[in-house]
Every structure is written in structure tokens, then in C-alpha cells.
Structure 1
């Protein structure tokens, strides 16, 4: 009636769909969790500092990143 290859292929396709659906639901749950975290905790950089202070802080962080990248690549500053 049905060939074993056809049954295996159909079962594999159904299994793949189940796994894909489960992963999609997990991804949506993770995104919802992160959204709740962002809504609950406002950004630290905006908490009580002005716009210019935030820019200075970002520039300082960028400089630190450049130094760390130079250290990682073996460049001596």
C-alpha cells in the first residue's frame, strides 16, 4: 500500500514541522521576555543624565572598545 520510504519521508516532514513550530514559539516567548525586561527597566544611559552626558558616555565606551579590539589583535598602544 505505502512504501516505507514514503512513510519515513512523511514522518520526517511532520517531525520537522513540529520542531520548527516549537522553535518559533520559543523565539516569540524569548522576544516577549526581552520586551518585558526593556519595558520594566528603562535604559541606564537615559536615567538622569542629559543628552550631552549620554554622548560623552557613548564616546567613552567606543574608545574602550577600540582599545580592547587593539589588545585582542595584538597591537600595542
Structure 2
């Protein structure tokens, strides 16, 4: 039983260390990675669609 508990505790500590490294890696960089060209184009398209829908809802004729 002691061996199983020791192995479980070692695994738990390893998992916590892994999660801590992931947290530090994502929070150390104050600048997020640059978006790809395709995602920027898609975002621009979505913003344009939202603008058109808002204009339709406001009753403005495009």
C-alpha cells in the first residue's frame, strides 16, 4: 500500500509541475502570437457582416 501511495504522490506532483509550467508559459508572454493572414481575413469578414446586420436592424439602407 505504501508503494502505491508513493507512486500516486509522485505522479500527482509531476502533474502539478506540468500544469505549473503550462501556466507560466502562457502568462510569461505579454504579447499573444500574431494571428495568421487567414484568421485576420475571416475576422474582417465577420466584422463586415456584423456591421451590415446592425445597419439592417437600425433600418439603414446600404
TM-score normalised according to structure 2 size? 0.51
Runs (4 or more) in structure 1 with deviation over 6 Å come to: none
Measured after TM superposition, the shift of residue 35 of structure 1 is 0.2
Measure how far apart 1:45 and its partner are.
Answer: 4.5
RMSD after superposition: 2.8
Tell me by how many angstroms 1:56 deviates. Answer: 2.3
Matched, 1:37 2:25: yes
What is the TM-score when the length of structure 1 is the normalising length? Answer: 0.42
* Aligned positions, number: 40
Structure with higher RCO (Cα < 8 A, 6+ apart)? 2
Unaligned regions of 5+ residues in structure 1, if any? 1-12, 58-77
